[in-house]
Amino acid sequence: MNSKRTGVLLTQLGTPKAATQSAVRPFLREFLSDPRVIDISAIARKLLVNLIIVPFRTPKSTKIYEELWEVGDGVSPIMMHTEALVDALNARLSDEQITVHMAMRYQNPSMADVLEVMRLENYDKILILPMFPHYASSSSGTAIQKAMEIISKWWVIPEIEVVNQFYEEDFYLDTLVAQAQKHDVASFDHVVMSYHGLPDRHVDKVYEGSENLCKDHHCDELIDSDNKYCYKATSYATSRLLAQKMGLNDADYTVAFQSRLDDKWLTPFSDEVIEQFAKEGKKRLLVFSPAFVADCLETLIEIGSEYQEIFEEHGGEKIQLVESCNAEPQFVEGLAEFIQARS
């Protein structure tokens, strides 16, 4: 048994507390006011978020969350799956002097409240582990920054370790493969690996110098010292590893990016890829969403519902979502071992 006590902070993006406009509005406002999410001047961001995006987007987003809550039997799926993961990890690590806590970057349970509980526990070490396999400033980066800002105000700061990505870890990859194998993989015409999108400018900021941009690197082919924190590069790396584990050839799968707001985001766009495959006569697509370890709006609604409609509209028949890792026993065991190795 480890003699030192470790507190683990798992972070997720967040969720409204209910599928109502009064709950969705503050969630959107907090999320979109983050300078790591909308990286423009503070004044411009405040005007854009409060006068344009939130007033016009809240009603539409609320309807989507209502659909999501129906899928989740009246609860937020991301909250349900993350709480189940934390419970399973704590049961698995109960004899290891390790306690896992969960916080949302936006809304509740808030990072400030959860970290205050952790401070009072007086841990020897705190492990900060955002539940985003691929580093992005607007996901892992903002969660790490928020946690460090809070901890920096403590009088006693324990040993701190941060995990900023785990896109190539076997416990994550093997769980996704096992989730895919619940379906008859050979019965599908093609595999799509759909990642959450990012603006091109976010990816370009990873590289030093105005002349050194993502397009100047072979991010769809390799990982090296220059692009190891490039979201596009790590997404493609995960896809190659998943394909290798599943015995897929390059022609068997396509990498794409979803949830774009305009055309200056990572390409190819998942919705356009889905539409094109339907027009080409493909009838059944197996779709991964490896950027998420817990099923949420982007997996259950965007892929499971919206992409199904697009596919059918253009002649396709079935979009099969590969479920996220959630609280699958294989994921729990692998993540527990990953945490133990850092405690």
pLDDT at residue number 2: 56
Indicate whether 152 and 50 sit together in one domain.
yes
Sort residue 321 into left (φ over 0), alpha (ψ -120 to 50) or beta: beta
Say how far apart CA 163 and CA 8 lie, in whole Å.
Answer: 11
Q: What are phi and psi of 78, to 5 degrees?
A: -65, -35
Q: Is residue 29, in this structure, part of any structural domain at all?
A: yes
The chain-wide mean pLDDT, for the chain, equals 96
pLDDT in tens, 247-305: 999 999 999 999 988 899 999 999 999 999 999 999 999 999 999 999 999 999 999 99
Q: Are residues 10 and 159 in the same domain?
A: yes
My answer on whether 65 and 156 are in the same domain is: yes
Residue 257 pLDDT: 98
Considering the domain architecture, whether residues 262 and 135 belong to the same structural domain is answered as no
Kindly state whether residue 175 falls inside one of the protein's structural domains: no
Full-model pTM? 0.96
Residue 252, Cβ neighbours under 10 Å: how many? Answer: 15
Are both 92 and 198 inside the same structural domain? no
Q: Could you list the residue range(s) of the whole structural domain that residue 142 is in?
A: 6-166+329-340
61 and 147 share a domain? Answer: yes
Q: What's the CATH code of the domain at 274?
A: 3.40.50.1400
Q: Total structural domains in the chain?
A: 2
pLDDT, tens only, 37-81: 999 999 999 999 999 999 999 999 999 999 999 988 889 999 999
152 and 208 together in one domain: no
